[in-house]
């Protein structure tokens, strides 16, 4: 229920209700953002997506306290003339729509480039032409590889933060060669960032760009064969959850040496809320949103998830909990990887005073409790079902 006490922004001014056109509202991040907007604010959401399974609980039944403040529009933004009308009706547009699973970048590079660049173009254009504010979701992948990754393995400079901390206004974007189609996504996201920035500079578009650093939590992606295709490859949290639920070894791509910082979705949503409600502080900025304190290698993530899952499910882990696979075998030709991703937090700290709170252990505990509660029974039944001959 939206609080009846007057809510104020970071400068002490009362926050009044606005209308938000949220594109990609039915996805992982969109579903958490809609939930937060409905339960804690007076804002109205025009939720645009091709799917709504992850926000069904916010749309039905009609007796929900926020009924009337959220409307779902089943629209594919590739080819639907209703989009401009919805953007015109809103005060703010948030664009989350994208193909954003690495298994697609090198196997469906055209769809990836179209989704992350071409399909986002009309959204930018309509916002600019109609003087509407835009919050666009980019990615930490625009940084690509670190400068440090090009130094000799034994170089002491690899320990120097100047060679690996990722800063919005200083770090270069370092991608692999064109046949490494992994970078089709990062490159498309970089170009749309540049276009939005140029619309700001030349035509006065009010924009904020978000670069999420591996946000994870409940409702992320799908469990293959349960609520997504059996052969589908989701992002690492869902891949490892699927392995744990099925009591299979977790697959470590190229030894699981890549490093990531993981942030709890609920911490990250707090940052987006500050951007929504403090336009004067957020406009014109690109923000890293991540948790620099939660860095692990993918191997360490697998080990921690194995321990946490054993705790929340009450089942002992299997004898060989991980197995190494090559990236070619797992993702196919043209895969490449970001070696290390630590966000610099200076800009978001200065503009919005935001910091993440949740440790990796705690966020895995709540997320894997959700995964176990949501999927364990369905997996048991799927495994028990005889395969049709
Ligand atoms: N989750 C993360 O850690 C993370 C990290 C970096 C960047 N991002 C970016 O954040 C955004 C949201 O990510 P997510 O994790 O919620 O992904 P998601 O796949 O769960 O959500 C994306 C949503 O967009 C919708 N969509 C895609 N194409 C569409 C179209 N043509 N028309 C209408 N709807 C369409 C999808 O149906 C989906 O519901 C993406 O732009 C992604 O690149 C996310
Ligand atoms: O079974 C698996 C699955 C993955 N890996 C490795 O884990 C690393 C992280 O993989 P993933 O979460 O799928 O994605 P990335 O971090 O590489 O890329 C994402 O970052 C942000 C975003 O833009 C959107 O979410 C997306 O591009 C990676 O090293 C995999 O190889 C594994 O070992 N086993």
pLDDT tens string 259-300: 999 999 999 999 999 999 999 999 999 999 999 999 999 999
**What torsion do the CA atoms of 90, 96, 98, 99 make, to the nearest 10 degrees?**
-150
Task: Examine the pLDDT at 2 and tell me if it is beyond 90.
Answer: no
> Is the beta carbon of 137 within 6 A of some atom in ligand 1?
yes
Nearest Cα to 174, choosing from 359, 9, 336?
A: 336
CA distance 240 to 323: 12
> Is the beta carbon of 186 within 6 A of some atom in ligand 1?
no
CA angle 183, 187, 192 (to 5 degrees): 150
Return the best residue to mutate from 236, 301, 323 for the ligand 2 pocket (most ligand atoms within 8 A of CB).
Answer: 236
Residue 224: both structure tokens together: 């293959």
Beta strand pairing call for 70-74 and 263-264? unpaired
- Reported ipTM: 0.99
DSSP of 339-380: ---EE--HHHHHHH-------HHHHHHHHHHHHHHHHHHHHH
Nearest Cα to 10, choosing from 384, 297, 293, 271?
A: 271
Average pLDDT value for residue range 238-257: 98
The rounded Å distance from CA 222 to ligand 1 centre is: 13
CA distance 274 to 115: 27
CA distance 39 to 21: 17
Note whether 15 and 40 are within 8 A (CB): no
Task: Examine the pLDDT at 1 and tell me if it is beyond 70.
Answer: no
CA distance 336 to 316: 34
> Is the beta carbon of 77 within 6 A of some atom in ligand 1?
yes
Return the best residue to mutate from 29, 235, 296, 323 for the ligand 2 pocket (most ligand atoms within 8 A of CB).
Answer: 235
Average pLDDT value for residue range 347-353: 98
The rounded Å distance from CA 4 to ligand 2 centre is: 41
The rounded Å distance from CA 267 to ligand 2 centre is: 20
Nearest Cα to 167, choosing from 352, 348, 353, 344?
A: 344
Query: Which residues are part of the catalytic machinery?
Result: 185
Ligand nearest to the CA of 298: 2
Return the best residue to mutate from 145, 214, 259, 306 for the ligand 2 pocket (most ligand atoms within 8 A of CB).
Answer: 214
Residue 146: both structure tokens together: 């670190």
What tens digit of pLDDT does each residue of 51-85 get? Answer: 999 999 999 999 999 999 999 999 999 999 999 99
Between 144-148, 193-197, 332-336, 381-385, the lowest mean confidence (pLDDT) is in: 381-385
CA angle 287, 291, 295 (to 5 degrees): 130
Position of tokens 């009846």? 4
> Is the beta carbon of 212 within 6 A of some atom in ligand 1?
yes
Note whether 209 and 191 are within 8 A (CB): no
Average pLDDT value for residue range 42-46: 98
Note whether 208 and 94 are within 8 A (CB): no
What are the pocket residues of ligand 2 if the criterion is a CB atom closer than 6 Å to any ligand atom? 100, 102, 139-141, 185, 214, 235-236, 239, 251-253, 256, 258, 260, 298, 337
The rounded Å distance from CA 332 to ligand 2 centre is: 14
Note whether 132 and 87 are within 8 A (CB): yes
3 state SS of 38: helix
Nearest Cα to 286, choosing from 91, 153, 140?
A: 140
For residue 79, what is the DSSP state?
Answer: S
Give the contacts of 356 (CB within 8 A, at least 6 positions apart).
263, 264, 267, 268, 271, 290, 291, 293, 294
Predicted pLDDT at 52 = 98
Ligand 2, atom nearest to 337 Cα? 29
Among protein residues, the one whose CA lies closest to atom 30 of ligand 2? 253
Predicted pLDDT at 6 = 87
Predicted pLDDT at 5 = 74
Task: Examine the pLDDT at 226 and tell me if it is beyond 90.
Answer: yes
- Of the chain, the end-to-end C-alpha distance in Å amounts to 51
- What percent of the chain is modeled with pLDDT above 90? 97
Among protein residues, the one whose CA lies closest to atom 16 of ligand 2? 214
Q: Decide: pTM greater than 0.95.
A: yes
Task: Examine the pLDDT at 388 and tell me if it is beyond 90.
Answer: no
Predicted pLDDT at 387 = 65
Among protein residues, the one whose CA lies closest to atom 38 of ligand 1? 27
Task: Examine the pLDDT at 4 and tell me if it is beyond 60.
Answer: no
3 state SS of 212: strand
Residue 168: both structure tokens together: 């919005």
Compute the mean pLDDT over every residue in the chain, rounded to the nearest whole number.
97
Return the best residue to mutate from 21, 23, 28, 210 for the ligand 1 pocket (most ligand atoms within 8 A of CB).
Answer: 28
Ligand 2, atom nearest to 341 Cα? 16
Distance, C-alpha 126 to centroid of its chain: 24
Q: Is 130 left (phi over 0), alpha (psi -120 to 50) or beta?
A: alpha
CA distance 347 to 123: 26
> Is the beta carbon of 118 within 6 A of some atom in ligand 1?
no
How many Cβ atoms from other residues are within 10 Å of residue 349's Cβ? 11
């Amino acid at each position: 229920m939206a609080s009846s006490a007057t809510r104020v922004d970071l400068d002490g001014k009362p926050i009044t209700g606005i209308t938000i056109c949220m594109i990609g509202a039915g996805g992982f991040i969109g579903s958490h953002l809609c939930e937060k907007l409905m339960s804690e604010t007076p804002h109205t959401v025009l939720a645009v997506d091709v799917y709504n399974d992850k926000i069904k609980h916010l749309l039905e039944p009609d007796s929900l306290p926020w009924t009337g403040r959220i409307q779902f529009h089943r629209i594919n933004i590739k080819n639907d003339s209703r989009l401009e009308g919805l953007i015109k009706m809103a005060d703010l547009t948030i664009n989350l729509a994208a193909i954003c699973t690495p298994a697609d970048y090198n196997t469906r590079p055209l769809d990836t480039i179209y989704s992350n660049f071409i399909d986002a173009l009309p959204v930018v254009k309509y916002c600019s032409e109609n003087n509407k504010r835009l919050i666009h979701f980019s990615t930490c992948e625009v940084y690509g590889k670190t400068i440090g990754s090009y130094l000799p393995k034994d170089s002491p400079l690899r320990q120097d933060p100047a060679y690996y901390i990722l800063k919005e206004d200083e770090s270069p974007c370092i991608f692999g060669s064109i046949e490494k189609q992994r970078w089709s996504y990062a490159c498309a996201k970089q170009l749309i960032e540049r276009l939005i920035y140029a619309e700001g500079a030349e035509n006065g578009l009010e924009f904020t760009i978000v670069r999420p650093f591996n946000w994870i939590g409940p409702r992320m992606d799908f469990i293959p064969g349960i609520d997504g295709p059996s052969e589908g490859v989701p992002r690492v949290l869902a891949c490892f959850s699927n392995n744990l639920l099925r009591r299979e070894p977790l697959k470590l791509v190229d030894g699981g040496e890549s490093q990531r910082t993981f942030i709890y979705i609920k911490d990250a949503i707090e940052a987006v809320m500050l951007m929504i409600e403090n336009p004067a502080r957020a406009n014109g900025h690109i923000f890293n949103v991540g948790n620099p304190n939660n860095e692990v290698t993918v191997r360490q993530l697998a080990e921690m998830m194995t321990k946490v899952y054993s705790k929340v499910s009450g089942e002992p882990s299997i004898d060989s909990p991980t197995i190494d696979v090559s990236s070619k075998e797992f993702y196919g030709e043209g895969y490449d990887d970001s070696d290390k991703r630590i966000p610099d937090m200076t800009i978001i700290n200065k503009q919005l005073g935001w910091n993440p709170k949740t440790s990796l252990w705690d966020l895995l505990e709540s997320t894997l409790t959700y995964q176990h509660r949501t999927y364990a029974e369905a997996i048991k039944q799927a495994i028990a079902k005889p395969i049709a001959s």
